[in-house]
């Protein structure tokens, strides 16, 4: 019996050790399968030289040794002899890279047909980024005998926004509670903090906002700043700066000041003293992210002041320490009877040139609120005198949350590649946010609302990891394609078996369009459940605030459907440049993916397919469902090449996704049919329930609800 017990324990240990939980993300470093490539690597990589003795270089040494050991299945040693080394990391201030974070990688063959690989950078953080990139090349089984790479980041600020609260709950979090345990900090450093930093550094993310934009002033107290310092000290060698959200009313809440007026000298002094305290603890503190006068958050407008007044007051406080202020432009006021689309532009455009030089305006990718598909935000490019960064949402608040496989890179690329016509043609959104279009803007960046929690695989859905990965890779290089990023991630995450790569790539690259089709086709938007934003609720009209209700956005009636934002409606379209207006102003020529975003059109409106709008809506919803069925079929084809744990997890989630895609199709079409009064097309799959059934469904504990 004792022997049996030992055997059982051994088997359990074996299963646990080799189970694929997803915790390792894209840093698995499993042995290379391609024998030809493996022999090339093993033959040419034996000794590593690293020219630096900083904490960052110590991390690089550990990562390179462990990574190469796993990939090559051989021990790799660090040498102090540059001559005998095969892989050399050198600090070189004259390297070809134009950035202090950039790196060069090149190989040189010698007489006996062996070669050395040189990785150089101006600073040790560049060497770390170069080291991670070199490991990525190996994970993707690419030959290194003629490698020649010069890489610099497209954007200087590449930052995650955590909507994490101090009690560890996460607003719009779908992967467990926050990884940051404020109760046990600063004395207990969880290994997950280190692995989080590794993951971010591996894809070039260099900043993290630790706290929710709906800010809690407690984070600015001394006891909590000591906790922040512990994380900052840990993240620093990985090239990651910490940022905090600043609650505008903090002087009142923490020190009983009578006002938070940004022009009040006592308030200004309070923030300067607070900044001094923070920078004495954290010399490289990034600065503050601020949500003000939006959705009930306090701000300068409470005192009759402008956004620039508030931002500049904080900018003055952090300026002596080279800190920055990131001021969110997501603002809307229920007291103003105005299309929410227009409010950010209306409030911020007149302030162009009024902000201090260390202020960036953070603008969402679209003018509404992280919808499955929106046109680009008209404010991007409209403030040439003000640095601007684009905010995207990795957490899938409006994209099916943690049960739907949605690869977001195509959505990000769709926006980045769009021409704003700010300076004629070739004025892409990417060229605006990276500073190319307005060269005098020294600061630039992009932020992503994090999808990270304490689930064992970090992101809830195994494929949600790809969105974290894609964000980092795109902020480093906005020219990468969705396909390139997907291929990298698949090989590092699931292996290099070619047939599986092809199937998974098809799943990923088609998933975004599929989701748009079965949720919000043809320009529909914001028709999700009230509050939790889970599931379809096009009939939602329970909130006193008009623009918190789905009916406000689709405006379906007996005449048609869609939100008229042309000159005969709210005229929001006028906020774009003339060339953009021309593209979208006419319902007969408007790109159909934005049709109902800008136009209220008849149910019989002729579509390019030859069908009327009602039938097109039906077919598009159903096409989204059929795409999910294809995703299921493609996933089944990978079964023999994917570990059982993750295969079964994704298999179950795809079944949920199909069920919910059908729910979206049936509930929305039954509701819209009450207005169109038209039958479903011939041979169309009829809903299994009536509209009353779908309207009766309740989800009191869906993620996102206040408990």
Q: Is 292 helix (H, G, I), strand (E, B) or coil?
A: coil
Q: Is 117 helix (H, G, I), strand (E, B) or coil?
A: strand
Task: Check: CB of residue 682 under 8 Å from CB of residue 537.
Answer: no
Task: Check: CB of residue 149 under 8 Å from CB of residue 98.
Answer: no
Helices (H), 577-643: 578-584, 595-598, 613-636
Task: Check: CB of residue 412 under 8 Å from CB of residue 470.
Answer: yes
CA distance 258 to 270: 12
Helices (H), 262-418: 265-281, 307-318, 340-348, 409-417
Q: 65: Cβ–Cβ under 8 A, 6 or more apart, which residues?
A: 48, 76, 77, 78
Distances in whole angstroms, Cα of residue 397 to Cα of each of 137, 319, 535: 33, 35, 11
- Which letter does DSSP use for residue 685 in this model? P
CA distance 187 to 194: 15
Burial 321-336 (b: 16+ CB within 10 A, else e): bebbbbbbbbbbeeee
Tokens of 188: 């207990």
Tokens 């990468």 belong to which residue?
A: 480
Tokens of 255: 């020190």
Cα 287 from chain centre:
20
CB neighbour class for 313 (10 Å; exposed up to 12, middle 13-18, buried from 19): buried
Residues marked active site are found at: 295, 369, 397
Which of these, 429, 668, 642, lies nearest to 536 by C-alpha position? 668
Task: Check: CB of residue 357 under 8 Å from CB of residue 242.
Answer: no
């Amino acid at each position: 019996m004792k022997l049996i017990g030992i055997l059982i324990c051994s088997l359990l240990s074996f299963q646990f050790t080799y189970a694929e939980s997803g915790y390792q993300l894209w840093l698995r470093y499993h042995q290379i399968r391609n024998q030809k490539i493996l022999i090339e690597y093993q033959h040419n990589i034996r000794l590593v030289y690293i020219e630096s003795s900083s904490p960052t270089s110590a991390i690089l040494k550990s990562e390179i040794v462990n990574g190469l050991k796993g990939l090559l299945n051989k021990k790799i040693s660090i040498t102090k002899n540059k001559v005998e080394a095969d892989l050399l990391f050198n600090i070189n201030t004259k390297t070809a890279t134009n950035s202090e974070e950039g790196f060069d990688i090149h190989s040189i063959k010698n007489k006996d047909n062996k070669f050395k690989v040189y990785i150089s950078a101006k600073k040790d953080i560049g060497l770390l980024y170069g080291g991670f990139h070199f490991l990525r090349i190996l994970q993707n089984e690419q030959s290194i005998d003629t490698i020649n790479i010069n890489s610099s980041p497209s954007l200087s600020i590449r930052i995650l926004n955590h909507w994490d609260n101090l009690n560890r709950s996460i607003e719009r979090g779908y992967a467990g509670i926050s990884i940051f345990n404020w109760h046990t900090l600063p004395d207990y450093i969880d290994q997950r903090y280190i692995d989080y930093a590794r993951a971010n550094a591996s894809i070039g993310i260099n900043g993290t906002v630790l706290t929710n934009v709906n800010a809690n002033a407690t984070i600015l107290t001394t006891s909590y700043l000591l906790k922040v310092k512990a994380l900052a000290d840990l993240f620093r060698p990985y090239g990651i700066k910490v940022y905090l959200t600043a609650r505008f009313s903090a002087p009142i809440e923490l020190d009983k000041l009578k006002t938070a007026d940004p022009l009040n000298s006592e308030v200004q002094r309070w923030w300067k003293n607070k900044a001094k305290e923070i920078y004495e603890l954290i010399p490289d503190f990034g600065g503050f992210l601020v949500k003000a006068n939006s959705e009930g958050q306090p701000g300068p407008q409470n005192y009759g002041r402008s956004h620039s007044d508030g931002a500049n007051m904080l900018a003055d406080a952090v300026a002596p320490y080279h800190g920055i202020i990131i001021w969110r432009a997501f603002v809307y006021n229920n007291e103003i009877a105005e299309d929410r689309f227009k409010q950010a532009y209306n409030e911020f455009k007149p302030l162009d040139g009024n902000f201090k030089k260390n202020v960036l305006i953070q603008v969402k990718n679209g003018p509404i609120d992280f919808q499955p598909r929106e046109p680009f935000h008209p404010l991007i490019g409209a403030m040439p005198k003000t640095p601007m960064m684009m905010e995207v949402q990795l957490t899938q608040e409006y994209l099916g949350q943690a049960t739907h496989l949605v690869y977001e890179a195509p959505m990000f690329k769709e926006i980045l590649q769009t021409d704003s016509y700010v300076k004629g043609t070739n004025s892409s959104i990417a060229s605006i946010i990276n500073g190319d279009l307005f060269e005098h803007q020294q600061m630039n960046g992009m932020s992503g609302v994090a999808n990270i929690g304490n689930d064992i695989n970090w992101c809830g859905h195994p494929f949600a990891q790809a969105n974290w990965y894609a964000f980092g890779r795109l902020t480093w290089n906005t020219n990468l394609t969705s396909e390139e990023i997907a291929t990298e991630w698949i090989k590092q995450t699931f292996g290099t078996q070619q047939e599986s790569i092809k199937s998974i790539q098809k799943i990923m690259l088609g998933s975004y369009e599929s989701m748009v089709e079965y949720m919000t086709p043809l320009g529909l938007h914001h028709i999700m459940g009230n509050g939790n934003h889970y599931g379809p609720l096009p009939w939602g009209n329970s909130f006193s605030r008009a623009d918190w209700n789905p009916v406000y956005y689709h405006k379906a009636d007996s005449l048609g459907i869609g939100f008229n934002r042309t000159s005969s409606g709210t005229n929001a379209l006028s906020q774009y440049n003339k060339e953009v207006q021309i593209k979208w102003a006419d319902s007969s020529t408007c790109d159909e993916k934005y049709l109902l975003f800008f136009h209220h059109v008849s149910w019989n409106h002729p579509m390019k397919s030859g069908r009327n709008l009602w039938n097109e809506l039906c077919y598009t919803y159903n096409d989204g469902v059929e795409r999910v069925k294809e995703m299921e079929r493609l996933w089944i084809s990978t079964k023999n090449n994917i570990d059982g744990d993750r295969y079964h997890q994704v298999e179950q989630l795809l079944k949920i996704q199909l069920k919910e895609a059908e729910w979206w199709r049936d509930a929305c079409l039954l509701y819209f049919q009450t207005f169109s009064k038209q039958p479903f097309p011939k041979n169309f799959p009829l809903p299994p329930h009536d509209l009353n059934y779908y309207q009766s469904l309740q989800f009191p504990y869906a993620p996102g609800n206040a408990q």
